[in-house]
Amino acid sequence: MGDVSKAAKVDLVVVGGGLVGLMAALKLSHATRTKGLTLGLVAPKTGSSDPRTTAMLMPSINMLEELEVWDAIKPRTAPLKTMRLIDGSKRLVRAPVTDFRSSEMDLEAFGYNVPNADMITLLEEKIADINSIVRFDGRVEEALCETGKVTLKLDDGTFVESQLAVAADGRNSILRDCAGIDVKKWSYPQTALVLTFKHSLPHDHVSAEFHTETGPFTQVPLPAKPDAPNRSSLVWVATPEEAQNFLNWKTNKLEQYIENKLQSCFGKIEIKTDLHDIPLSGMTAKSFGQNGVALVGESGHVFPPIGAQGFNLGLRDVSELAKLIDHKDLASNTLLANYTRKRSTDVALRTAGVDVMNRSLLTDFLPVQIARTMGISALGNISWLRKLAMHSGLGNGLSGALPSPASLMEKGQAAVNRSR
């Protein structure tokens, strides 16, 4: 690794300049300042031209408010007030259209669709204003990881040493490998196609997820622009063979196809960005922290782009880690053992839920299709069950989601009285 005698020393270092990494640096800067700890951020200042957007659910918005960046980004976002499930398949058994409305939970919106480039720019500006964050403008080239001491060699020749490293360096994490954390990986027979389009009819803050035989076909509202008041992004899951075929289509043919798939709910379609393809896969780390490294975001878990779970789960990683920061055991195994224990259940449940949801769309096995249809019907017709699903989807606890036994008895008695 070279001469590390002149390494810059911090108590805690965050590695990664994506959305999760920048959010982690801001969130942990609050925790470290109150504990008298020093915080480093290893992330090149490259700017962002990322054309994608991220659906941030309300718990994530609450974090942005806490970090004092939400007011600046909110005007550039689109609220997600209704989540609509539509069975767009041609199967014998089809589910009814089901709407989940944020007003049912007394929320202005379930969340907001946020342009990545704008969000990264604002987070970078906020970090630059915090003197307690020591910025290292380089990439990790090599790392040595052990309990209580992590040493990083950056590509500009700088060495950084810390008691604990937070790996926000993505699915191919160097720090995860350095810490010796194994992962479970799997792939799906699917490819996600992503683009942005404008449409002639307003979206009314509705995000529509069409269930097809190859996976979800999901429209998500985008903020208005002067030349395009009605805009949305599209995440379209197809087979790899279909995806390759669609990539070769002419724009006008693709626009007509998308309009038909959306059942003309949004009027005439005009594509505004190139079509990008992303093979679908999944990954879960077998531990979320060991040998001086804590995993957050895609270094610890990777999902298909379904249900807006991946990024929001990453911010829950950050939130939980921030609660555990304590000077006396920062360099011990205790913190990372507690962190793994606290994150394992949430990650496992989200992974299983997204996996089952996705695979249930792919199978032609009739009992599975009947079960999925009955489940969606129940969500549409049973208010407390729908509320439970909405709480779970937001990543909240179940407190307040389930009706109390007393309220169930009252409802039951009322039903009996009506039947007399």
Distances (CA, A) of 404 to 384, 388, 398, 409: 10, 13, 12, 9
Q: Is the pLDDT of residue 297 over 60?
A: yes
Q: Is the pLDDT of residue 345 over 70?
A: yes
Q: Is the pLDDT of residue 134 over 50?
A: yes
Which pair of tokens denotes residue 15? Answer: 């590695």
Per-residue pLDDT at 420: 40
Give the pLDDT mean for 369-385.
57
Q: Is the pLDDT of residue 119 over 60?
A: yes
Produce one character per residue of 141-173: b if its CB has 16 or more CB atoms within 10 Å, e if not: eebebebeebbbbbeeebbbbbbbbbbbbbeeb
In 3D, which of 109, 166, 114, 121 has the Cα closest to residue 140?
Answer: 166
Taken in order of first residue, the domains within the chain and their CATH numbers are 8-47+117-185+284-358 (3.50.50.60), 70-115+187-280 (3.30.9.10), 382-419 (no CATH)
Per-residue pLDDT at 301: 95
Give the pLDDT mean for 332-348.
91
Distances (CA, A) of 68 to 14, 29, 111, 125: 20, 13, 17, 12
Q: What is the DSSP letter of 228?
A: B
245: three-class secondary structure by DSSP: helix
Q: What is the DSSP letter of 225?
A: B
In 3D, which of 13, 16, 19, 10 has the Cα closest to residue 44?
Answer: 16
Q: Which residues pair with 293 in a beta bridge?
A: 165, 290
Ramachandran bin of 45, using left for φ above 0, alpha for ψ from -120 to 50, beta for the remaining angles: beta
Per-residue pLDDT at 380: 58
More confident residue, 45 or 338: 338
Judge contact between 289 and 274, C-beta under 8 A.
no
Specify burial of residue 356 (Cβ count, 10 A radius: 0-12, 13-18, 19+): exposed
Q: Look over the chain and give the mean of its residue pLDDT values, rounded to a whole number.
A: 84
Judge contact between 323 and 345, C-beta under 8 A.
no
Q: Is the pLDDT of residue 239 over 90?
A: yes
| pLDDT confidence band for 398 (50 / 70 / 90) | very low
153: three-class secondary structure by DSSP: strand
In 3D, which of 99, 304, 311 has the Cα closest to residue 206?
Answer: 99
Per-residue pLDDT at 213: 84
Q: What is the pLDDT of residues 199-227, one digit of tens each?
A: 999 999 999 988 888 888 999 999 988 88
111-120, 160-169, 299-308, 326-335 — which is least confidently predicted?
326-335
| pLDDT confidence band for 7 (50 / 70 / 90) | confident
Distance of CA 304 to the CA centre of its chain: 10
pTM across the whole model: 0.83
Q: Is the pLDDT of residue 367 over 90?
A: no
The residue type at 69 = V
Which pair of tokens denotes residue 399? Answer: 């407190």
Which pair of tokens denotes residue 104? Answer: 């049912």
Percent of the chain with pLDDT over 70: 80
Give the pLDDT mean for 60-85.
92
Within 10 angstroms of residue 107's Cβ, the number of other Cβ atoms is: 15
Give the pLDDT mean for 372-396.
57
Per-residue pLDDT at 219: 94
Per-residue pLDDT at 296: 97
CA distance 18 to 350: 22
Per-residue pLDDT at 26: 96
Sign of the torsion formed by the C-alpha atoms of 21, 117, 75 and 127? positive
Ramachandran bin of 116, using left for φ above 0, alpha for ψ from -120 to 50, beta for the remaining angles: alpha
The residue type at 57 = L
Per-residue pLDDT at 401: 34
Q: What are phi and psi of 35, to 5 degrees?
A: -100, 0
92-106, 192-206, 242-256, 292-306 — which is least confidently predicted?
92-106
